[in-house]
Structure 1
Amino acid sequence: MKAVIFEEHGPVSNLKVADLPRPEPAQGQALVRVRAVALNGFDPMILARIPGINTPLPMIPGGDIAGEVVAYGPDSAIAGIPIGTRVLVDPLVGNTGVFGETVRGGACEFVAVPAINLVPLPDVVSFEDAAALPIAYGTAYRMIRERGKIAAGEKVLVLGATGGVGVCSVQLAKLAGAEVAAATSSAAKAEQLRAIGVDHVINTSEADFVKATQALWGKPRVFDEGGGADVVVNFVGGDDWPRALRCVRRGGRVLTCGATNGYDPKTDIRFIWSFEISIVGSNCWSRGDLVDLLDLVAQGRLKPQISSVRPLEELPVSLQELIDRKVFGKVVLRVA
């Protein structure tokens, strides 16, 4: 079968198209004919090598997989999911890890996956839209809906708003009826944020997001709940972590599911107790989160934002765009 692989960690030039044996599903597994696979922010990091993560080589990137069931291993068929069913694959592989990170991913024609990871697709959801969902949209769904419980009328600031998690956070907050401000350093991406319904765009190349947020919603006061954002979505971390605390109203909350710019910033914890700020962590997604997302897409209430759809062979181009921060939303590869 055709696959995109890398045999050594390093630059994008290490990626190549190879011909590998078609996998045979073992007991407990299903064989999926891949139709679409999406990349995520961790794909460039896995290629470069993340210390402490055991990545099997040669490695196939791509954690978000959609396709069709073509076979089952011995005694592994799942009731209600016959051969030929269109499916999404939950990227979490038991205690082993995640496809594309610690388990070979889906940038190939066929992949053997745990049969229990199969999620049937509604007929109206395309393979490309389905593949855009699991890792980024699943992470955002759990953070915004399940952990953060963002509600109608709340004022929400989203930092790092133009990647997969950020865009979905914006979309779900708007779907909940919130007033949303979103930060980006790109004028072009600012227009794309407006196009998906953001109420206030903060271009951080021109304005300080703390001052801009306080100009919008007032300066938080220790004994007054009127000023500031109700919720700050901050999976950026780094130097923006302590600064973002200055945007949260008394009794407000900060939601985080990562730290793309650094995980150990210096924090003045006086802001946390003085303003009674709740810090809410969120990690990964549940199977139910993926089902809920598919339902939202099937109902037409949510449209995954896809930056590009390319043939599998052009995966290096899409990966380089991720590295160069040229992506708004998700990048998807179509497998013929």
Structure 2
Amino acid sequence: MKAVFFKTHGDLSVLQYGDLPLPEPAPGWVRLRVRACGLNYLDIFSRRGMPGIKIELPGITGGDCAGVIDKLGDGVEGWTIGERVLPVSHHVDWTTGHFEMLGETRNGAMAEYCTIRASQLMRIPDNVSDEAAAALPCAYGTAHRMLHARGQIKAGETVLVLGASGGVGTACVLLAKLAGCKVIAAAGSDEKCARLLDLGADEAVNYSTVKIDKHVRETTGSLLRGGGVDVVVNFTAGDTWAPSMRCVKRFGRLLCCGGTGGYAAVTDIPYLFMSEMSIIGSTGWAREDQEVCLDLVAQGRLDPPIDRVCALADGIAAVRAIEERAVVGKVIVKP
């Protein structure tokens, strides 16, 4: 089968497009013919290599996969060949602590075929496209869990989203709006800000020309005079961490589900205790988060923005676009 893969960890130059053996489903598993693969920053982290995480080599990234069941492993019941499905990308055995992630710890969907446990599958409604389904798991599942299960956002609150133009960022903008929140979207260019306003953000701030903490203080007031926002979403960390803390109002929340801008960050200790803010971490998503998002698309209430759809043969260029932060929304690869 054709695939985009790497034989060693490294920069973009280690990616190859070529032939790899067709995978066979183990008992209890199925093989999928990939119809659409949604890319995430996780694809970049996996290729570069992450401390403490062992990745199967040659490695195939791609954790988000809309596909058609092509072959059933022994013992699989309740599923038939030809069904359109969307896997939950991860599998956790909480009794042993064993964690598995499609496209990370095991080969993923940047290929013509991949294998997955039958227990991880959910059916794709007929009125949901392969591209829209493949956009959901990692970005929208993560955003939904972070905003709702962990962040407990409420209608009427103001939510500031840093890095709002990417997959998780646009998901946060759309899901917060659906929840009845006012959304301030921060992105790195005027073009991205304009696109985010088109998607429904109430306000957009170009953080390459405006300091986000200064903007929030000037438009809402200082901390001790009621200024700031209820919720700040920051999954970039790095240099954005301390400024984002200074945007949180008293008793507000700072939500974090990643560190695409760097894992090391400076904490503004005075703002931490003076605001009495809550800093809340969120990891991944649960099956029910993915089901909610898929149902929202089927109802016509959620329309994931897709920046581009690429052929598998152009998969390396698709990864480059994400790495260079040249997209608004999701990038989809179709074998």
TM range, normalised to the smaller chain? Answer: over 0.9
Give the secondary structure class of the aligned counterpart of 1:56. Answer: coil
Per the TM alignment, residue 113 of structure 1 is displaced from its structure 2 partner at its CA by 0.8
* Contact persistence 1:219–1:247 (CA under 8 A): no
| TM value normalised by structure 1 | 0.94
2:80 match: 82
The whole-number CA distance in structure 1 between the counterparts of 2:157 and 2:324 is 33
Does residue 216 of structure 1 match 2:219?
yes
1:55 match: 55
Per the TM alignment, residue 122 of structure 1 is displaced from its structure 2 partner at its CA by 0.9
Per the TM alignment, residue 31 of structure 1 is displaced from its structure 2 partner at its CA by 1.2
1:32 match: 32
**For 1:186-223, what per-residue CA distance to the aligned partner results, in whole angstroms no more than 9, with x for missing partners?**
111111111101111111122111111122222221xx
Give the secondary structure class of the aligned counterpart of 1:16. Answer: strand
**Structure 2 CA distance for partners of 1:10 and 1:268, relative to 1, 3 Å:** closer
Does residue 247 of structure 1 match 2:242?
no
| TM value normalised by structure 2 | 0.94
* Contact persistence 2:231–2:253 (CA under 8 A): yes
**For 1:235-278, what per-residue CA distance to the aligned partner results, in whole angstroms no more than 9, with x for missing partners?**
12122212222211111111111122233322233322322211
Per the TM alignment, residue 9 of structure 1 is displaced from its structure 2 partner at its CA by 2.2
Give the secondary structure class of the aligned counterpart of 1:239. Answer: helix
Give the secondary structure class of the aligned counterpart of 2:164. Answer: coil
Amino acid corresponding to residue 115 of structure 2 in structure 1: A
2:95 match: none
The whole-number CA distance in structure 2 between the counterparts of 1:64 and 1:262 is 24
Per the TM alignment, residue 45 of structure 1 is displaced from its structure 2 partner at its CA by 2.6
* Contact persistence 2:41–2:260 (CA under 8 A): no
1:189 match: 192
Per the TM alignment, residue 70 of structure 1 is displaced from its structure 2 partner at its CA by 2.0
Give the secondary structure class of the aligned counterpart of 2:111. Answer: coil
The whole-number CA distance in structure 2 between the counterparts of 1:301 and 1:216 is 31
Per the TM alignment, residue 166 of structure 1 is displaced from its structure 2 partner at its CA by 0.8
* Contact persistence 1:8–1:57 (CA under 8 A): yes
2:90 match: 92
Number of aligned pairs? 330
Give the secondary structure class of the aligned counterpart of 2:223. Answer: coil
Structure 1 unmatched ranges of 5 or more? none
The whole-number CA distance in structure 2 between the counterparts of 1:265 and 1:12 is 26
Give the secondary structure class of the aligned counterpart of 2:204. Answer: strand
The whole-number CA distance in structure 2 between the counterparts of 1:309 and 1:40 is 14
Per the TM alignment, residue 307 of structure 1 is displaced from its structure 2 partner at its CA by 0.9
RMSD, aligned α-carbons? 1.5
**Structure 2 CA distance for partners of 1:264 and 1:6, relative to 1, 3 Å:** closer
1:141 match: 144
The whole-number CA distance in structure 2 between the counterparts of 1:278 and 1:10 is 36
Per the TM alignment, residue 19 of structure 1 is displaced from its structure 2 partner at its CA by 2.3
The whole-number CA distance in structure 2 between the counterparts of 1:232 and 1:51 is 28
The whole-number CA distance in structure 2 between the counterparts of 1:96 and 1:281 is 19
What is the correspondence of 1:1-336 to structure 2 with a 5 Å cutoff? Answer: 1-77=1-77, 79=78, 81-94=79-92, 95-221=98-224, 226-335=226-335
Give the secondary structure class of the aligned counterpart of 2:238. Answer: coil
Give the secondary structure class of the aligned counterpart of 1:4. Answer: strand
* Contact persistence 1:96–1:103 (CA under 8 A): no
* Contact persistence 1:27–1:73 (CA under 8 A): yes
Per the TM alignment, residue 33 of structure 1 is displaced from its structure 2 partner at its CA by 1.2
